[in-house]
Amino acid sequence: MAAALTSPPLLLGGLLLLLALCLLRRPLGSLLRLTARTGVGLAFLSLFAPLGKLLGVGLGVNLFNALVLGAFGVPGFGLLMMLKWALRT
C-alpha cells in the first residue's frame, strides 16, 4: 500500500493537478462567484415571479435571466425589464 502512494506517476499527476489549481485559482474563483450570484438571481426571480404577475411585469424564471442578474445585479434587473418592455407584442 505504501509503495502505491509513492509511485512516480501518481506523484507526477498530483503535482500537475496542484500546478493546474494554482494557475487557475483566479478564474475558478470568478466562476464560483458567478455561480453563487446566479443562484441568488434565480432565487430572486423565483420570489419575484408571483409579485410580478400581479403587477403585470413578470420575468421568466430561467437560467439566462438568472445569469444576467448574477453578472449585472440590480442594473441587470432593469435591463431585463427594459428588454421585456421593448420586445413586447
Q: Does residue 59 lie within any of the structural domains?
A: yes
| For residue 6, pLDDT beyond 70 | no
Q: For residue range 18-62, list pLDDT tens digits in order.
A: 898 888 888 888 999 999 999 999 999 999 999 988 888 888 899
Q: What do you get for the CA distance between the two ends of the chain, in Å?
A: 69
Which DSSP symbol is given to 62?
A: S
The position carrying cell 478564474 is: 27
Contact 48, 62 (CB under 8 A): no
Q: Does residue 43 lie within any of the structural domains?
A: yes
Contact 74, 41 (CB under 8 A): no
Q: Note the pLDDT of residue 9.
A: 84
Q: Does residue 14 lie within any of the structural domains?
A: no
Q: Note the pLDDT of residue 89.
A: 55
Which DSSP symbol is given to 84?
A: H
Q: Does residue 39 lie within any of the structural domains?
A: yes
Domain hosting residue 70, numbered range: 27-86
Q: Note the pLDDT of residue 22.
A: 87
Number of structural domains in the chain: 1
Q: Note the pLDDT of residue 65.
A: 95
Please tell me the distance from the alpha carbon of residue 80 to that of residue 89, in angstroms, as a whole number.
Answer: 16
Q: Please state the rounded mean pLDDT for residues 73-88.
A: 92
Q: Does residue 9 lie within any of the structural domains?
A: no
Q: Does residue 33 lie within any of the structural domains?
A: yes
